[in-house]
Structure 1
Amino acid sequence: MVLRSCWKSRHKTSRGAAVRPVLPAALLWFCVTRLACAGGALAETNIVVQKEAEFDVTYNDTATSENQTIYAFNHTVSRNKSEGVRVSVDVLSRGLESPILFVVRQKQAVLSFQIPLILRGLYQRKYPYNHVGRTLCQPPTLVASETQYFFVDVSTLSSQGTNYQLRVSRVESFTLQRSHHLKCSDRIYRVPYCHYRFSASCSSRLSAPFQCPVYDLDNNVAFIGMYQTMTKKGAITVQRKDFPSNSFYVVVVVKTEDEACGGPLRFYPLRPDVLIDAGNRSKDIDVIVTPAIKLEVYVMGMLFCLGIFLSFYLLTFLMACLENKRMKRRECLIPADVSPAETGKIPASPYEYGSLADNGSTLSSEAVTDSATSTDIYGYAERSLDSVGRSRLESLSSVEEDDYDTLDDIDSDKNIVRTKKFLYVADLSRKDKRILSKKYQIYFWNIATIAVFYALPVVQLVITYQTVVNVTGNQDICYYNFLCAHPMGALSAFNNILSNLGYVLLGLLFLLIVLKRDVIHQRALLRNDLNALECGIPKHFGLYYAMGTALMMEGLLSACYHVCPNYTNFQFDTSFMYMIAGLCMLKLYQKRHPDINASAYTAYACLAGVIFFSVLGVVFGKGNNVFWIVFSVIHILATMLLSTQLYYMGRWRLDSGILRRIVNVIYTDCIRQCSGPMYIDRMVLLVMGNIVNWSLAAYGLIERPNDFASYLLAIAICNLLLYFAFYIIMKLRSGERIQCLPLVIILFTAVVWGLALYFFFQGLSTWQKTPAESREHNRDCILLQFFDDHDIWHFLSSIAMFGSFLVLLTMDDDLDTVQRDKIFAF
């Protein structure tokens, strides 16, 4: 019905009769269009010329609004041979009124572009190209040989004549070989690409599916396939399963601006409609195809990873067997419930049991005494056998952590006990053992709860990241070492994830070692072993369990981070590193100060604040003066407050009068009396700690490092190393010794830490720069063709952390037979 009305209207118009339109406007437009396509009256004003054209011939012609030229080409296509065809167009006229439209019609695709070709850059800046070269894809054929036709249509709406040159030529070396050279043009926008057919293995480089049309412009190259930006180096791992046609195209596009790859921004145009000359931009690229690793390499990598860490289990099992044999031999010689003093053994050193008095009435170590009169030059007081043999029975009453009412006032007044010039572990281990044990077990349960609620959304997020990468093909999202990124399933870099297995396995092994020690200690307490009750550093294992759990979580979250490493999820990799550093410092302090160590709630609240600042630093720290000033002030104030807490053993309170009291102490103790500090050792540690932290704060304020999370982690590690060195020095100064096993572990751990840091600072990728700049640091695998430098960092750092934990666990084993009132607190 509609067509009939259209034809009726045209018939009356041809006779000159006035016809009043009775159809809607859209319907009338449809009729006119149909008539024009059918060769009606409107088509008579536009002359269509079709020319039989040949390859490698330059056609000079003129395009106007009154004519349309069609160039017809034909060529032979073979099923087993890939052949490229390039259409090159040059417009010779300047100041075009309207662009020229070129349409290339192929068997299974239509390619169109205009001259000048306008591409947009940053801030929508426009770059015109009057010289364009486009490469045509080859439609697949099922027969051995076939003649295919394609047409190049040239048209314009410009009323003025526009001169142009058209040349169609075959592309030599269109099939990608093992090594292939591509040259991107300068002022001519020419997009080179080539075809690669899979052999028996996978290959790497920039890729798009083998189908028509091929998206090869700057504004559409990311529509299909896998893509990435690059400057000097780049790599893409291509898997056969992603290309059902068993082949793909490699497309290289020179971007209009260098800002996308991290280059400088040249200028910002005042008017967005101004056309900017793109300048002389050229690039030579060598495309190298290398076979992907075989399944055997994957198997060898996994076996190597498991073998390294399971060997630690085997070594631990052998040492445990030797230790059990030694303990059984010792139990045969000395009953477990008899002290060395009761066997008549002469103490080998003053660290065993001190001189024994016959009257059994000497002062207990829990009494408050003047250190100048009750100790000798080393601060050692003699104890009677009765006071040594007295067991501290656990209270059955329900007592809070800080409740001292169950003891005599003079024995429980912490302000009197802690002001002694020489403090001993017995002075700071006066609380009920059951209460302290529950207090430190909270560390484990809290970190287990934190781990669950932290890890679940992290796993969900990184799965989403990996899915986005796989679906969109945008490999600029994740900062891999693309030259050594081996995929498995949906994971793009399986080797970086596998290498984190050491943290989990060694963390679990440390938990088993701690559990064994915990069981042995509990059995000793049940049989009232005097060594367990009265000697050595008080055994509290809650922090050890928390440290092992943190090490396992570090492995899990580091693996999650390496699923798709970038700046938005880097805190996943560092959060539990802060936890580990903080827990190690707390454990060092707890060894000599079990009664006054921080509670789990306070400790985790402080660590949460550290992680909070880490996130703020990553998001807002780059170039933000206000953030760095605020952080530096908070850092210095926190260092001073912590120093005051450590120096006065908690005998101070934070309130409005804190500044006035500090001034009074400085005036009375330093200026008025001109006396030195009462606790020299603590003062030396705190002065050094403040110097280090103030220096780090000044460095951050001046340099403002881009990687704020690593800077914050460096602060934590420096403080941990400083306190650990102080602990070792003070232990040796106090006449204590380090046994052979912990000494060997210390030396081994120090060597492993040195090697680990060497590989860490290789810097194979960095999210502080653009993805293209990060790829400049990519390197090939160096171990078993499967692991890179960062994977070796994972191996070595997990072993070093495990060794560090063992040092904390065993370094005071020499004090297991020494009374606590003869062990210095420092």
Structure 2
Amino acid sequence: IPAPCWIRPGLIALLWLCGFSCCSGAVGETKNVVQKDAEFDVTYNDTVTSENQTIYAFNHTVSRNKTEGVRVSVDVLSQGFESPILFVIRQKQAVLSFQVPLILRGLYQRKYPYKHVGRTLCQPPTRAASESQYFFVDVSTLSNQGTNYQLRVSRVENTVIVKVNSEMNFPCSVMSIQDIQCPVYDLDNNVAFIGMYQTMTKKGAITVQRKDFPSNSFYVVIVVKTEDEACGGPLRFYPLRPDELIDAGNRSKVLDVMVSPAINSDIYVIGMLFCLGIFLSFYLLTLLVACLENKRVSKKREVFQIPADMSPAETGKIPASPYEYGSFADNGSTLSSEAVTDSATSTDNNYGYMDRSLDSVGRSRQESLSSVEEDDYDTLDDINSDKNIVRTKKFLCVSDLARKDKRILKWSNSSQMSHFSRNIATIAVFYALPVVQLVITYQTVVNVTGNQDICYYNFLCAHPLGALSAFNNILSNLGYVMLGLLFLLIVLKRDIVHNRALVRNNLNALECGIPKHFGLFYAMGTALMMEGLLSACYHVCPNYTNFQFDTSFMYMIAGLCMLKLYQKRHPDINASAYTAYACLAVVIFFSVLGVVFGKGNTVFWIVFSVIHILATLLLSTQLYYMGRWRLDSGILRRMVYVIYTDCIRQCSGPMYIDRMVLIVMGNIVNWSAYGLIERPNDFASYLLAIAICNLLLYFAFYIIMKLRSGERIQCLALVCILFTAVVWGFALYFFFQGLSTWQKTPAESREHNRDCILLSFFDDHDIWHFLSSIAMFGSFLVLLTMDDDLDTVQRDKIYVF
């Protein structure tokens, strides 16, 4: 309204008075307001209409050093939902309002009305030791008909709770830890607004840190959800209309709440010292064994009076005679061109005597050179010309498959590395960096949002430290790193000793034993260390989206161990590093696909099973024919020809019986098609189980064939085998305890949670970490030492199997 500025305030005041008068005359002119002095723990039965409003005044004494909640409970006794009652609670620094019946929305926006509603009031802060504060409960409605209700206000004590148990799976509920502030969020649709919260069925636990609650006090709020889908329950029914109100039924839950103090800093220190002590003891034990071994070798040299820098050829001694071996010992046909036939020169179990000129020693040395694992090609034309003849003999010796040029070997040994170890180091760096970044993001989201359903911890034994929610699960992975480093040091020591022997032209190093290739051993040690790092990353926030972090290098370890077993007797035809890692990358790729698409997807399982069977057939052919076959357009014609000539025309048995037994057993294991018959929930673990079963089968075959060949297992290797087998047994026992599972909902996973069992700091899964790291280290030592008995046996007397 255009007017001089001095009359504008008067016009505004006049308009406000007119509006107030109109509204008062239309609505509030006949309303009767009644205020009552109310008391705690008294039930008030009243009736409210649009013509009357009731105010209940409560006098509440607030203490500065005591946290006490106030609970307002309301029951509406009328049946209708058309005109709800409005309750407004006015207190110092906060106003809380809600209607009854209370309408909550569930999945698909379904509406659930509640006639019984309870709300928790916050405790306003006070600087005085004790202060009396009033709060008021206003009750009103717009209904012309009287609505009966009950009101009860009570004090809530014992709010410092971190563990909750119930005998009832359902109804699904939410436990929340909230700071002492206004308001208290205690409804299904707002309980997740502040603090920390988690869904629960039978068990719930949240560890509270002092740094998250500066006031040194907090509320524990437990809310029953309107639906059970969040806890893995069924979807009961759908509404007929979008606006239809659904009766939620009698959804109540009986709970046991417990006060459980957290561990102090002394337990953290004891846990860390215990973890370090266990694995440092392996360093001391290794040092002791090395000293005893050096002492034994020194005494042996003194007994035989052999200078340390003199080879057996220079002393007039050669390695032992060939081992007798069942079907292999037929008219000496198993010996290669370098075999020694003068058996009368053998005088004891360790050394034989013969006259050989230095020229013959030199020729044998040149013909028995070791190969290098990362090169999958031959360097001399004469090797290409007789490769088919050598590899298709009925009985092969290691010297037949260790014929590559020594210049490649010299280059590899001088670098003390190989393509296997260098490539796995590169893979580890580029794999680990985004993993670390991702898990830090996960942990940050958990800390900021307070959503305890993101990560699948064992909440009954999850000890936080700083920003980490479960420090004990991370610390227990230290064994993989420390024992992996120890294995690298052991391999390095052997590598240095072997190189020194080569420099001295030691005959044992040049002509005897399994060819010394340390590249795969370096790769295995690196993989063990990376397994510890990635397992720790996974346990920062374990869930189904990052489980492959925990298993990726387990595939690497299983594959590298199988390659190493095969390389021992087949050095020239072992897979190259690039081929091996490409195959492992395909395995990890299928692992990721299985986690994402494998559950309930029949098409995926059919495709995976077909690829698995075809890959097994190709690998079987490679193993049986020692790499002397080609995958080209004529392969079907050659297969038909072999079947006709060997099976139909003359029905002859397989030429390589031992290899055929291994291949048949391996195909039986891999073709069991368990995934098609009964699909596992955890595809990554299923794939890992396939790799481990193949590794165990090949290892058992290797040991059996080694003993059948007349070879023996030395004391150190035998102790490692027995010790490792026992530790693996205990480790698997703790692994299958199943303290959590991301195949289920977070609430169902917490049903498997259990208390700590070791030093009040470590749980069953932590013990699995301890024992499995020790068992893997022992398994690596077995692979490293199991053929030490052949170090003085010529390679043309060591059989290939």
TM-score, length-scaled by structure 2: 0.90
CA displacement at 1:256 relative to structure 2: 0.9
Question: Are positions 1:163 and 2:147 aligned together?
Answer: yes
Q: Aligned partners of 1:310 and 1:3: how far apart in 2?
A: 89
Question: Are positions 1:212 and 2:182 aligned together?
Answer: yes
User: 2:179, 2:213 within 8 Å by CA — same for their partners in 1?
Assistant: yes
Question: Are positions 1:426 and 2:399 aligned together?
Answer: yes
Which residue number in structure 2 is paired with residue 745 of structure 1?
720
Amino acid of the residue matched to residue 708 of structure 2? R
Say if 1:330 and 1:699 are closer, same or farther in 2 by CA, change over 3 A. same
Say if 1:778 and 1:183 are closer, same or farther in 2 by CA, change over 3 A. closer
- Deviation string, structure 1 residues 769-818 (Cα, Å, up to 9, x no partner): 11111111111111111111101100000000000000000000011111
Q: Aligned partners of 2:334 and 2:58: how far apart in 1?
A: 108
- Deviation string, structure 1 residues 442-467 (Cα, Å, up to 9, x no partner): 00000000000000111111111111
CA displacement at 1:118 relative to structure 2: 1.0
Which residue number in structure 2 is paired with residue 589 of structure 1?
566
User: 1:618, 1:709 within 8 Å by CA — same for their partners in 2?
Assistant: yes
Question: Are positions 1:719 and 2:689 aligned together?
Answer: no
Question: Are positions 1:665 and 2:623 aligned together?
Answer: no
Which residue number in structure 1 is paired with residue 352 of structure 2?
none
User: 2:319, 2:512 within 8 Å by CA — same for their partners in 1?
Assistant: no
Q: Aligned partners of 1:627 and 1:179: how far apart in 2?
A: 41
User: 1:351, 1:818 within 8 Å by CA — same for their partners in 2?
Assistant: no
The sequence identity of aligned pairs, in percent, is 78
Give the secondary structure class of the aligned counterpart of 1:234. Answer: strand
Say if 1:596 and 1:282 are closer, same or farther in 2 by CA, change over 3 A. same
Paired residues in the alignment total: 768
CA displacement at 1:39 relative to structure 2: 8.2
CA displacement at 1:393 relative to structure 2: 8.8
Give the secondary structure class of the aligned counterpart of 2:573. Answer: coil
Of 785, 789, 792, the residue aligned with 1:814 is: 789
Give the secondary structure class of the aligned counterpart of 1:207. Answer: strand
Question: Are positions 1:321 and 2:294 aligned together?
Answer: no
User: 2:439, 2:540 within 8 Å by CA — same for their partners in 1?
Assistant: yes
Of 5, 8, 12, the residue aligned with 2:11 is: 8
Give the secondary structure class of the aligned counterpart of 2:571. Answer: coil
Of 662, 667, 675, the residue aligned with 1:700 is: 675
Q: Aligned partners of 2:742 and 2:380: how far apart in 1?
A: 57
CA displacement at 1:658 relative to structure 2: 2.3
CA displacement at 1:297 relative to structure 2: 1.0
Give the secondary structure class of the aligned counterpart of 2:800. Answer: coil
Give the secondary structure class of the aligned counterpart of 1:470. Answer: helix
Which residue number in structure 2 is paired with residue 805 of structure 1?
780
Q: What is the 5 A alignment of 1:517-556? A: 517-556=494-533
Amino acid of the residue matched to residue 47 of structure 1? K
Which residue number in structure 2 is paired with residue 759 of structure 1?
734
Which residue number in structure 2 is paired with residue 276 of structure 1?
246
Question: Are positions 1:392 and 2:366 aligned together?
Answer: yes
Which residue number in structure 2 is paired with residue 127 of structure 1?
112
CA displacement at 1:69 relative to structure 2: 3.8
- Deviation string, structure 1 residues 210-254 (Cα, Å, up to 9, x no partner): 112100000111111111111111111111221111111111101
Say if 1:337 and 1:86 are closer, same or farther in 2 by CA, change over 3 A. closer
Question: Are positions 1:221 and 2:191 aligned together?
Answer: yes
CA displacement at 1:350 relative to structure 2: 3.3
Q: What is the 5 A alignment of 1:568-583? A: 568-583=545-560
Q: Give the gaps of 5 or more residues in structure 1.
A: 14-30, 193-204, 353-369
User: 1:511, 1:548 within 8 Å by CA — same for their partners in 2?
Assistant: yes
Amino acid of the residue matched to residue 483 of structure 2? L
Say if 1:269 and 1:685 are closer, same or farther in 2 by CA, change over 3 A. same
CA displacement at 1:175 relative to structure 2: 5.2
- Deviation string, structure 1 residues 510-532 (Cα, Å, up to 9, x no partner): 00000000001111111111111
The worse-fitting range, judged by mean Cα deviation, of 273-282 and 473-482 is: 273-282
Say if 1:134 and 1:505 are closer, same or farther in 2 by CA, change over 3 A. same
Of 230, 234, 246, the residue aligned with 1:264 is: 234
User: 1:374, 1:381 within 8 Å by CA — same for their partners in 2?
Assistant: no
User: 2:487, 2:777 within 8 Å by CA — same for their partners in 1?
Assistant: yes
User: 2:368, 2:402 within 8 Å by CA — same for their partners in 1?
Assistant: no
Which residue number in structure 1 is paired with residue 307 of structure 2?
335
Question: Are positions 1:102 and 2:92 aligned together?
Answer: no
User: 1:60, 1:164 within 8 Å by CA — same for their partners in 2?
Assistant: yes
User: 1:85, 1:168 within 8 Å by CA — same for their partners in 2?
Assistant: no
- Deviation string, structure 1 residues 242-281 (Cα, Å, up to 9, x no partner): 1111111111101111111111221233433221111121
Give the secondary structure class of the aligned counterpart of 1:87. Answer: strand
- Deviation string, structure 1 residues 641-691 (Cα, Å, up to 9, x no partner): 100010001111112332332222122111211000000000000000000
CA displacement at 1:414 relative to structure 2: 1.7
Say if 1:3 and 1:513 are closer, same or farther in 2 by CA, change over 3 A. farther
Which residue number in structure 2 is paired with residue 406 of structure 1?
380
User: 2:34, 2:52 within 8 Å by CA — same for their partners in 1?
Assistant: no
The worse-fitting range, judged by mean Cα deviation, of 277-286 and 334-343 is: 334-343
CA displacement at 1:349 relative to structure 2: 4.5
Question: Are positions 1:115 and 2:121 aligned together?
Answer: no
Give the secondary structure class of the aligned counterpart of 2:255. Answer: strand
Which residue number in structure 2 is paired with residue 27 of structure 1?
none
Question: Are positions 1:510 and 2:476 aligned together?
Answer: no
Give the secondary structure class of the aligned counterpart of 2:617. Answer: helix
CA displacement at 1:416 relative to structure 2: 1.3
User: 2:36, 2:57 within 8 Å by CA — same for their partners in 1?
Assistant: yes
Q: Aligned partners of 1:416 and 1:270: how far apart in 2?
A: 80
Which residue number in structure 1 is paired with residue 748 of structure 2?
773
User: 2:477, 2:769 within 8 Å by CA — same for their partners in 1?
Assistant: yes
The worse-fitting range, judged by mean Cα deviation, of 339-348 and 686-695 is: 339-348
Q: Aligned partners of 1:489 and 1:179: how far apart in 2?
A: 21
User: 1:107, 1:139 within 8 Å by CA — same for their partners in 2?
Assistant: yes
Say if 1:666 and 1:42 are closer, same or farther in 2 by CA, change over 3 A. same
CA displacement at 1:441 relative to structure 2: 0.5
Q: Aligned partners of 1:41 and 1:178: how far apart in 2?
A: 55
Which residue number in structure 2 is paired with residue 375 of structure 1?
333
Q: Aligned partners of 2:460 and 2:392: how far apart in 1?
A: 62
Q: Aligned partners of 2:502 and 2:762: how far apart in 1?
A: 48
Which residue number in structure 2 is paired with residue 356 of structure 1?
none
The worse-fitting range, judged by mean Cα deviation, of 398-407 and 576-585 is: 398-407
Question: Are positions 1:232 and 2:235 aligned together?
Answer: no
Amino acid of the residue matched to residue 568 of structure 1? T
Q: What is the 5 A alignment of 1:681-700? A: 681-695=658-672, 698-700=673-675
Amino acid of the residue matched to residue 536 of structure 1? G
Amino acid of the residue matched to residue 61 of structure 1? T
The worse-fitting range, judged by mean Cα deviation, of 315-324 and 131-140 is: 131-140
Question: Are positions 1:288 and 2:269 aligned together?
Answer: no
Question: Are positions 1:452 and 2:410 aligned together?
Answer: no
TM-score, length-scaled by structure 1: 0.87
Question: Are positions 1:435 and 2:393 aligned together?
Answer: no
Question: Are positions 1:795 and 2:770 aligned together?
Answer: yes
Q: What is the 5 A alignment of 1:585-734? A: 585-695=562-672, 698-734=673-709
- Deviation string, structure 1 residues 288-324 (Cα, Å, up to 9, x no partner): 1112111111111111111110011011111212222
- Deviation string, structure 1 residues 36-60 (Cα, Å, up to 9, x no partner): 3998656644625141231214141
Q: Aligned partners of 1:85 and 1:281: how far apart in 2?
A: 22
Amino acid of the residue matched to residue 468 of structure 1? V
Say if 1:270 and 1:602 are closer, same or farther in 2 by CA, change over 3 A. farther
Q: Aligned partners of 1:611 and 1:562: how far apart in 2?
A: 19
Amino acid of the residue matched to residue 636 of structure 1? I
- Deviation string, structure 1 residues 62-84 (Cα, Å, up to 9, x no partner): 232x5544333333333344444
Amino acid of the residue matched to residue 726 of structure 2? V
Say if 1:631 and 1:649 are closer, same or farther in 2 by CA, change over 3 A. same
CA displacement at 1:177 relative to structure 2: 8.1
